[in-house]
């Protein structure tokens, strides 16, 4: 009996001295899976991506992937509101043409997800760097839906408040509540917050902010603002001095005019008591179900969410990647997200829009 116990002890000690091999086997497993999927994707020949209109972003969502994998990208540039009707009509006709969607969470949460167009993303993650929690802000990829179908890739502090720099010192403003002063009556331009767009995002931020809310919106409406729906017209009205203040305008339009020497300035969120909202803009990732090219779609997802893919994408958009290991030295400082800011891209924010719009129809001039 004593000899048996000694033999068992010897066997245990011998096994303990053998190197643990599971990590190497796991590495081999994912690498084999990755190579297999790449080869299958090359046989499919292409991946079909629906994305937004900006040329720089379109290029970054197509050219680097094509160069690296030799798989072509069919890219449909379309505005968010146009996407669900188009895809829905195709599907009713039995056409399942698209694989990937890169766009805003309003489109996905309010139209594409309810129509059953999407499927969960995580089953398509292969690369260990994507699965590693510490590589993501908050310790995990951020999904905005319960089914984990809509993934945030980019975050930015949004510009909401713009002024004519020849009339108003942008650096002197410390709170949105200053807009309620009598001197600004009939001197404010709004992008119509009753329709989808940056104006509605701005008023959703006001609505959800604990220090602003409905009382602030009602008081702001009593300032009798000019309400427009054309981004360029709004920016021109302020840049040319007809009005001193623009709320909820389009950042890109304002920034382009600033580059041209127009007297416009952005009131930076960090100097405002209430800040501004955080948004991914049009930079959320989703996967259509019944993909036309399932293997190419899987390769594309892993490439876009990799450190290399996110670095290129972040630089193209000018915003901060949701991966912590992606450099952000290219990001304008005021766009770096502020901890604790209101998020206007979540399910709760979407649910707030219907009561908000009803309230706006009541208090804003028709």
11 inside domain: no
Average pLDDT over residues 206-235: 97
Contacts of 235 (CB under 8 A, 6+ apart): 162, 246, 249, 250, 253, 254, 257, 262, 264
Region 153-158: mean pLDDT is: 94
Domain assignment present for residue 343? The answer is: no
**Same domain flag for 121 and 145:** yes
The answer to whether residue 17 scores a pLDDT higher than 60 is no
Instruction: Dump pLDDT digits (tens) for 238-266.
Output: 999 999 999 999 998 999 999 999 999 99
Q: What is the pLDDT of residue 329?
A: 94
pTM of the model: 0.86
Tens-digit pLDDT profile for residues 85-124: 999 999 999 999 999 999 989 899 999 999 999 999 999 9
pLDDT reported for residue 52: 80
> 68 is written with which tokens?
């690296």
Task: Examine residue 90 and state whether it is found in any structural domain, yes or no.
Answer: yes
Contact 269, 157 (CB under 8 A): yes
Contact (Cβ atoms closer than 8 angstroms) between residue 326 and residue 307: yes
Q: In what order do the strands lie in the sheet with 226-228?
A: 226-228, 188-191, 245-247, 161-164, 264-266
Who's near 26: CB < 8 A, 6+ residues apart?
none
Tokens of 277: 């909202």
- For the cut 90, the answer to whether the pLDDT of residue 359 exceeds it is yes
The answer to whether the CB of 318 falls within 8 A of the CB of 336 is: no
Provide the 10 A C-beta neighbour count for residue 361: 10
* pLDDT tens column, 316-349: 989 999 999 999 999 999 999 999 999 999 999 9
Q: Distance between CA atoms of 110 and 220, rounded to whole angstroms? A: 28
3-state secondary structure of 50: strand
Would residue 220 count as lying in a domain? yes
354 and 331 belong to one structural domain: no
Same domain, 172 and 98: no
d(CA 157, CA 336): 6
With contact defined as beta carbons under 8 Å apart, do 286 and 151 qualify? yes
Whole-number Å distance between alpha carbons of 332 and 320: 10
Query: Do 211 and 73 have their domain in common?
Result: no
Q: Is 275 left (phi over 0), alpha (psi -120 to 50) or beta?
A: left
Can you give the residue range of the structural domain that contains 172? 159-276+349-363
Query: How far from each other are the two terminal CA atoms of the chain, in whole angstroms?
Result: 95
Residue 125 lies inside a defined structural domain of this protein: yes
Residue 154 contacts residue 317 (beta carbons within 8 Å): yes
* pLDDT score of 20: 34
Domain assignment present for residue 1? The answer is no
- 102 located within any domain: yes
- The number of domains in the chain is 2
Mean of pLDDT values over 296-309: 98
**What CATH number is associated with residue 353?**
3.40.190.10
**pLDDT in the model for residue 53:** 74
Cβ–Cβ under 8 Å, residues 225 and 189: yes
Q: Cβ(341)–Cβ(276) under 8 Å?
A: yes
Lowest mean pLDDT: which of 26-30, 46-50, 233-237? 26-30
Does residue 5 fall inside a structural domain? no
Contact status, residue 264 vs residue 168, Cβ threshold 8 Å: no
Q: Are residues 82 and 230 in the same domain?
A: no
Q: Is the dihedral of CA 228, 234, 237, 242 positive or negative?
A: positive
Output the average pLDDT for the chain: 91
CB 332 within 8 A of CB 75: no
Q: Tell me: do 268 and 353 sit in the same domain.
A: yes
Task: Please indicate, yes or no, whether residues 234 and 121 belong to a single structural domain of this protein.
Answer: no
19-33, 127-141, 176-190, 224-238, range with the lowest pLDDT: 19-33
Same-domain check for residues 168 and 60: no
Same domain, yes or no, for 200 and 216? yes
Are residues 270 and 169 both part of a single domain?
yes
**Mean of the pLDDT values across residues 172-192?**
97
169 and 133, same structural domain? no
**Residues 219, 318 within the same domain:** no
- 25-34, 54-63, 276-285, 352-361: which has the minimum mean pLDDT? 25-34
């Amino acid at each position: 009996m004593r000899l048996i116990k000694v033999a068992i002890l010897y066997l245990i000690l011998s096994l303990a001295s053998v190197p643990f091999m599971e990590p190497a086997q796991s590495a081999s497993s994912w690498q084999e899976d990755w190579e297999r999927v790449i080869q299958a994707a090359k046989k499919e020949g292409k991946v079909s991506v629906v994305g937004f209109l900006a040329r720089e972003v379109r290029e970054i969502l197509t050219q680097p992937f094509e160069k690296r994998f030799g798989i072509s990208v069919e890219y449909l540039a379309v505005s968010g509101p146009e996407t669900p009707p188009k895809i829905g009509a195709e599907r009713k006709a039995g056409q399942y043409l698209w694989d990937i969607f890169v766009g805003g969470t309003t489109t996905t949460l309010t139209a594409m997800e309810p129509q059953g167009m999407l499927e969960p993303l995580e089953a398509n993650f292969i690369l260990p760097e994507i699965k590693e929690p510490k590589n993501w802000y908050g310790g995990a990829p951020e999904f905005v839906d319960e089914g984990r179908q809509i993934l945030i890739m980019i975050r930015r502090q949004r510009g909401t408040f713009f002024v004519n720099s020849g009339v108003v010192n942008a650096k002197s403003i410390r709170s949105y509540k200053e807009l309620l002063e009598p001197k600004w009556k009939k001197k404010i331009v709004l992008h119509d917050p009753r329709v989808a767009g940056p104006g509605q995002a701005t008023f959703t931020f006001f609505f959800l902010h604990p220090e602003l809310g409905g009382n602030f919106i009602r008081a702001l409406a009593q300032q009798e603002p000019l309400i427009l729906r054309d981004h360029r017209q709004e920016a021109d009205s302020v840049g040319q001095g007809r009005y001193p203040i623009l709320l909820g305008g389009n950042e890109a339009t304002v920034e382009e005019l600033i580059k041209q020497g127009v007297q416009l300035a952005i009131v930076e969120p960090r100097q405002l008591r209430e800040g501004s909202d955080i948004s991914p803009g049009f930079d959320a990732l989703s996967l259509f179900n019944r993909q036309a090219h399932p293997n190419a779609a899987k390769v594309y997802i892993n490439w876009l969410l990799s450190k290399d893919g996110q670095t290129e994408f972040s630089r193209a958009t000018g915003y901060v990647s949701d991966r912590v290991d992606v450099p952000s030295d290219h990001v304008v400082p005021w766009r770096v997200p502020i901890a604790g800011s209101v998020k206007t891209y979540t399910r709760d924010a979407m649910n707030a829009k219907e009561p908000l719009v009803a309230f706006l129809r009541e208090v804003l001039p028709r």
